[in-house]
Structure 1
């Protein structure tokens, strides 16, 4: 003690300053001796108030402490290398009002823990919560000896001049080491955190730590930390090291042996002082800055279970299963292609003429075989009653085929070659439109009551083909510029998660998140492989059809030249590319799913829905379909609103009003464009023309709409879109991106249903292959949506609330419900693309002037 007093005096420079008249040398030595005697006497005087007691475990000590009274409790216990026992220190303060807090310092062999009672914990906005009942568990560093006796001391002191009563109890925690697959129950509170030790058994490299509770609140934090001292087990320091996550009822962290050199770790559970982090209510703000708030009873009962995770064999099985499913589609496609090639060779040996007859040829000229006009526009494909104009080649070809259906085969090869040469001539689309009467011709043709495909397939084929190829090149460019920053961003997200250990950043299904390397949920990324593989397969199928059609054109095949829906494959290529990009961006999103990057997962879904609607419209309207620049500009506007909705849409009434108005106006403008086939102008006179049409058609003569079929579709479309706009304005859903996607899907389904109905109503048929694809796709979509709506996580809520929806793996112990959604939705999208590709194969031998536009 004298030595300690000596150093205390040295830190104060000296107890007494030396007078200047004392000579240096011998006088300095004399002054040093005097100083040490005085300081040592003072130190001896202080120690008479320090008491040291030999204390025992499981004994409650009731004692008092004041400023000149310090008590030291000395404990000893034996530590075994093969058995670890926890030591818990519990302190209670009896008095309600304290002048100064009591300070407890626990000195161990390799660590020092200190805390005060009342323990002041801070919440949001620095609100203070005092706790007079404190329980702390001492860290247990590993020992090298087989058995070792360790000592630790509990120093109790205060600066209060009044005596303060306290209780001290030190006890052993028998179940300090957790056992594999054995549930352990305990209670915790903000001032009484709990932590336990787990040691990896032999042969187990990865485990899942699961903490459960029967109640949502109070909000808790579970943490996994390395075996070291001190252990960070308070609300204000639990996030300093290790991995941690907030929880209400469920919490789960996957732990790998490679991350812990000691082959063991601590499981720490802390109850937070406030519930805002878990989505609880915001407590009142204190009136005074230093006001202490009563926290109430915040004790929470919890269970902890540590279970082995899957081994490397499960990873291999999961990857092989994923590859096997989608490679089977390649094999099936190859088999179908072989069968189709045999059928095509048989057809080439016995060629079929285009579907026409002398009677039907006469009907194309406006008369039946008996010289009468057809009674119905749908009879024999007649359009003569509404002023249909046909090309001279079509009229000549039809008139010459009066003997039998094989008259077409007698056409002059020179005439066919000349027609083909003209279609491949190096002319631009604008050159075709420079004729003075072309605008009036368009008005005459496109405003007829009944249209056929030949009326809307008048532009040069090569020009149109180049126009639609721009869809593919544009989406390829968009994909590169969109994907690169996305990949960079999600790598940064994953790095932040791994470095900080904050698992609240990403919304995984933690009960089925299998890490691989730096990735936290490899299974969610792997399951997106189907989008890429099936998108590539669709591109190969389209390429095969493109090559076959090009060869047919080169050999002047009449069916390819003048029959069927005009073949333009640019949009199909764009659809396949979009499907592949959807898989890539969905995988990027699932690297770290959260609300800030959800648009990565949905952006190309908007693209796919928009391209499918454009392709459906292009089938019957090849000349007037939107250009790639206009289409992608509209899709860019949709994505722009998606981002705004995610950022500002939550409960913002102004945003929802603006969006609903824009949604309704866009629906009306698009309806007008579709109804008049683009033959209307948006200018200053638009309102005058609208009033004139309403007066003449609705008031003056009350005539019905000229284009009934189009009107039915557009009325239904407006009802659906206005209803969705009203729903959004009233409910204001938090997930704006999914709401926007629902609008796109509803419009696509409505148009697809209309197309099928009108196709059947027009007397066309659907071949076996597209029928099988339609039925198969509908069933797969049904199952896919079932798994999608399971909702294993949701970024609309807090991370802790999202974890309440987490569930275990259901397929091969590797894939969860959302992974199955990825499997099924990729297959369903691929099937939907095949339906669009093959739906009009029955028209490949039907002349275009017999194919109706709807």
Structure 2
């Protein structure tokens, strides 16, 4: 032992190891197996037999060049039908080792096992420093089966192993015969898009982008270990940036999965034990791969400038309209002053004439009076501090039972109290926005980080054919296109602020039109609407950082709020004293969002949920109808059923009398028909996108109420001014185009990520924006126009006494 250079203790360890090996493998393996080495050549098929007593080594050599990469593929097929054991193939290269067994066992869902007797693997190509060198690699074939196992071996070169820019290459792949190719960034190209397409949906596949290194993870059970990857049926696309690959090159790996559940295929139930082997079947798939250059920095700059230019033009247009309107009103003021009339004569509300009238009135009033008025207007007044209407308890029911109500009948409370009441809408929504937005931003940053770290492209539902990354963001264009909501929301707030300031100045100088004419001016809801529009842009941008099933409510929450606030504003115009408080309104909106989340999580195929929701929908519709018809003169208590029966008896049985408020009844009947129909549709069809279904309910009710308001306004002898009419027509046209692009459906989180990618499309605007970005542009403009309609539609009443303005 010492003569051989071994220490006695070390020799004892080797003895234990040899003894253990002898016990484990038995007497049959004590015999020395015969090793046969053969010089082999490319593109020749070798038919041979292997047993536990012989091992075959095939020696190959080829020339490796630094400037040229050639792929080498090893294809093996097992010819024996039921071998006693698998055959192990080990490919030894200069800097890598690849091993696999045949039959190859791959696991699927629930640990189901599939075996493949045909295996094809491409060898990774580590870079070489020399310009050209001869390299050897060996294919070792061995088995522990005592009986001979027949196999077939073929080693060949891969044509078009290095992909060329804008050149399509077609190939076949199976779960046991994956394919991968190399792409080298050309000079001057920093970003490319790798597109893989197939003519048929199934079998399900995975495309992966991996760095140039060995080993290459190209099997279903390890393809997700490194790099970027995504499942696909017909279409897959990944944007690759040079900065992520130090070698300026990468592998495009395509693997066919053993099962189709990941791509939305049928989930079959197998009553099989995990140890049973299943027939893999024919899972061959033909695919095309093409690598195209992505957009450069100039396109990014043009996209940003285009987006800013569109919405800044609205600021310029608003400024020009204001200047033209002020100039017209200034001429009117000069004419009235020249005729000896007071400049406080009724001009269009919010015009430049108000500023002149305010300046003249200040010169005629003592400074202490002006200061006292300002102090009173800014004093803190709460609705519960004192009773603003002395006879409200004894007189309001008498007033509100008149057959034809006027705005003066429902605008009797102190203006300062109502201003405070409606300002709460703005402060509440501002508070909600802060506490809602901060965790949302934190969450989507986490989502984006997970995508970047894991490389799992199935987490986010992008339009991968038009997703332009910038920094850590995977789809910058979808985020940028939401800028319009923020900019136009801010512009609307500025317009409302200007009107608010001029109205307050008119009140301070006791102008009769401001005090006694027109719809009472309360701007709290308008401020809340502008804030909601800005928050919709922020939260929609957060949603598009990583759009998926779990955060879709970020994109819809403030849509519900906008629809609710618009309906409340329409109702407030003619019912300022009895409009809902901010607390009850936001509580109802919170309930809507709560049901939206429940519907997204539990609504799919859940009969109990749809039954409960439909019942709640119908009951809420009936309660709201009662509230609107009786103008708040009813109570929901234990005597409600007795009162309902009494009304039915007196109005329907005892004598058949028509409704007292026929116009309101027509609106409510139509509203109930629409809502009952929507509830029935949801209960029968059970749409997968519950959030959009709920939003459709809100929009339908808003449009119905708006149409009723316009019709009743014209029936009452009122008119729509030119500016308001232009806003209505412009908004209707823009909404039509916006909805067209919305329904293009470039992705959908109701399906699997692979199925969603089937709807992906190329950019259609400036090679930077897709259909959904155009929806963002147009919908933000349409919402801004809708807000302007609500702001200006009753400007024709600013010179009409409130006793002559009807309530409807």
Normalised-by-shorter TM-score class: over 0.9
Taking structure 1 as reference, are residues 435 and 471 closer, same or farther at Cα in structure 2, changes over 3 Å only?
Answer: closer
Q: 1:556: Cα distance to partner?
A: 1.3
Pairs within 5 Å for 1:277-288: 277-288=262-273
- Displacement of 1:423 in angstroms is 8.7
User: Equivalences for 1:440-459 in 2 at 5 Å?
Assistant: 440-459=394-413
* Matches for 1:470-489 after TM superposition, within 5 Å: 470-489=424-443
Q: What's the counterpart of residue 35 of structure 1?
A: none
2:131 maps to 1:177: no
| Paired residues of 2:202 and 2:233 also in contact (CA < 8 A) | yes
Q: 2:144 aligns with which of 150, 159, 168?
A: 159
Structure 2 CA distance, aligned partners of 1:524 and 1:428? Answer: 44
Distance in 1 (CA, whole Å) between partners of 2:532 and 2:588 is 16
- CA shift for structure 1 position 347: 3.6
Deviation of 1:322 (Å): 0.3
Q: Distance in 2 between matches of 1:736 and 1:91?
A: 51
What's 1:318 paired with?
303
Shift of 1:129: 0.4
Q: Aligned to 1:611, which of 565, 578, 583?
A: 565
Q: Residue by residue, what CA displacement relative to the aligned partner does 1:109-150 show, whole Å, maximum 9, x if unpaired?
A: 111111000000000000000000000000001111110111
Asked whether the equivalents of residues 423 and 461 of structure 1 are also in contact (C-alpha less than 8 Å), the reply is no
What residue number does 2:94 align with? 109
How far, CA to CA, are the matches of 1:698 and 1:830 in structure 2? 46
Q: Which residue of 2 aligns with 1:563?
A: 517
CA distance in structure 2 between the aligned counterparts of 1:440 and 1:704, rounded to whole angstroms = 27
1:812 equivalenced with 2:766 (yes/no)? yes
The DSSP-based 3-state class of the residue aligned with 1:255 is strand
Taking the aligned partners of 2:43 and 2:271, their CA distance within structure 1 comes to 40
Report how far residue 438 of structure 1 moved: 2.4
SS, match of residue 537 in structure 1? helix
Please give the alpha-carbon distance, in whole angstroms, between the structure 2 residues aligned to 1:428 and 1:505: 49
Residue 13 of structure 2 aligns with which residue? Answer: 13
Q: What per-residue deviation string (whole Å, max 9, x for no partner) do you get for residues 721-778 of structure 1? A: 1110100000111100000000000000000000000000100000000100111000
After superposition, residues 234-313 of structure 1 pair within 5 angstroms as 234-313=219-298
Query: How far, CA to CA, are the matches of 1:800 and 1:822 in structure 2?
Result: 25
1:800-852 CA distance string (max 9 Å, x none): 00000000000000000000000000000000000000000000111111111
Query: 8 Å contact 2:373–2:508 — kept in the other structure?
Result: no
> Contact 2:543–2:554 (CA<8 Å) still a contact in 1?
yes
Q: Whole-Å Cα distance in 2 between the matches of residues 121 and 423 of structure 1?
A: 78
What is residue 525 of structure 1 aligned with on the other side? 479
Alpha-carbon distance between aligned partners in 2 of 1:428 and 1:322, rounded to the nearest angstrom: 44
Aligned to 2:153: 168
For normalisation by structure 1, the TM-score amounts to 0.87
Taking the aligned partners of 1:45 and 1:421, their CA distance within structure 2 comes to 106
* Aligned twin of 2:587: 633
Q: Distance in 2 between matches of 1:536 and 1:233?
A: 52
Shift of 1:710: 0.6
Is this contact kept in 2: 1:189–1:300, CA < 8 A? Answer: yes
Change (3 A) 1:340 1:434: closer
SS in 2 for 1:429: coil
1:697 equivalent among 639, 643, 651: 651
Superposed, 1:201-600 pairs within 5 Å as 201-349=186-334, 350=336, 351=343, 353=345, 428-430=382-384, 433=387, 437-600=391-554
The whole-number CA distance in structure 1 between the counterparts of 2:528 and 2:183 is: 53
Partner of 1:23: none
Match of 1:723 among 677, 682, 687: 677
Checking the alignment, whether the CA contact within 8 Å between 2:65 and 2:132 is kept in structure 1 is: yes
Question: Is the partner of 1:829 in helix, strand or coil?
Answer: helix
Partner of 2:693: 739
Q: CA deviation at 1:342?
A: 1.7
Whole-angstrom CA distance in 2 between matches of 1:718 and 1:486: 36
Q: Per-residue deviation at 1:285?
A: 1.5
Separation (CA, whole Å) in 1 of partners of 2:540 and 2:390: 51
Distance 1:10 1:149, change over 3 A: farther
- Secondary structure at 2:278's aligned position in 1? coil
**Taking structure 1 as reference, are residues 159 and 16 closer, same or farther at Cα in structure 2, changes over 3 Å only?**
closer
Q: Given the alignment, which residue of 758, 765, 768 partners 2:719?
A: 765
Alpha-carbon distance between aligned partners in 2 of 1:557 and 1:551, rounded to the nearest angstrom: 9
Distance verdict in 2 for CA 1:54–1:428, change over 3 Å: closer
The whole-number CA distance in structure 2 between the counterparts of 1:681 and 1:224 is 65
> Which residue of 2 is the match for residue 709 of structure 1?
663
> CA–CA distance in 2 between the matches of 1:454 and 1:263?
76
How many residue pairs are counted as aligned between the two chains? 771
Contact 1:127 1:286 in 2 (8 A): no
Taking a change above 3 Å as real, the CA distance of residues 354 and 84 of structure 1, as seen in their structure-2 partners, is closer
| Corresponding residue for residue 49 of structure 1 | 34
In 2, the alpha carbon distance for the partners of 1:421 and 1:86 equals 85
Structure possessing the higher radius of gyration over alpha carbons: 1
C-alpha distance in 2, partners of 1:575/1:476?
11
Per the alignment, in what secondary structure is the counterpart of residue 466 of structure 1?
A: helix
Paired residues of 2:192 and 2:291 also in contact (CA < 8 A): yes
3-state SS, counterpart of residue 155 of structure 1: strand
1:128 maps to what in 2? 113
Cα distance in 2, alignment partners of residues 11 and 235 from structure 1:
44
1:669 to 614, 623, 627: 623
Give structure 2 stretches of 5+ with no counterpart: 18-26, 337-342, 348-360
TM norm structure 2:
0.92
- The correspondence for 1:782, drawn from 736, 741, 747, is 736
Offset at 1:348? 3.3
Runs of at least 4 residues off by over 6 Å:
3-7, 416-427
Separation (CA, whole Å) in 2 of partners of 1:226 and 1:142: 12
Distance (whole Å) between structure 2 residues aligned to residue 767 and residue 279 of structure 1 = 55
Find out whether 1:822 has 2:776 as its counterpart.
yes
Q: Structure 2: how far apart are the matches of 1:420 and 1:848?
A: 25
Instruction: Give the corresponding residue for 2:74.
Output: 89
Secondary structure of the equivalent of 2:450?
A: helix
Rounded to whole Å, the distance in 2 between the matches of 1:726 and 1:279 is 29
C-alpha separation in 2, matches of 1:148 and 1:435: 100
CA contact (8 A) 2:548 2:749 kept: yes
Distance in 1 (alpha carbons) for counterparts of 2:389 and 2:739: 52
Cα-to-partner distance string for 1:633-678 (whole Å, 9 max, x where unaligned)? 0000000000111110011000011111111111111110111111
2:185 pairs, out of 193, 200, 203, with 200
Shift of 1:446: 1.1
Evaluate the alpha carbon distance shift between residue 59 and residue 425 of structure 1 in structure 2; reply closer, same or farther with a 3 A threshold.
closer
Whole-angstrom distance in 2 between the partners of 1:133 and 1:710: 76
Q: Contact conserved, 1:286 with 1:293, CA < 8 A, in 2?
A: no
Taking the aligned partners of 1:478 and 1:654, their CA distance within structure 2 comes to: 32
Instruction: Quote the Cα distance in structure 2 between the aligned partners of 1:90 and 1:440.
Output: 95
Question: What is the RMSD computed on CA atoms of the aligned residues?
Answer: 2.5
Distance 1:348 1:170 in 2: 95
Shift of 1:346: 3.0
Contact 1:189 1:271 in 2 (8 A): yes
Distance between the aligned counterparts of 1:626 and 1:466, measured in 2? 13
Q: 1:423 to 1:221 in 2, by over 3 A?
A: closer
1:689 to 1:150, Cα distance in 2 relative to 1, 3 A: same
Structure 1: distance between partners of 2:763 and 2:11: 63
Query: What is the alpha-carbon distance in structure 1 between the residues aligned to residue 390 and residue 771 of structure 2?
Result: 62
1:439, distance to aligned residue in structure 2 (A): 1.9
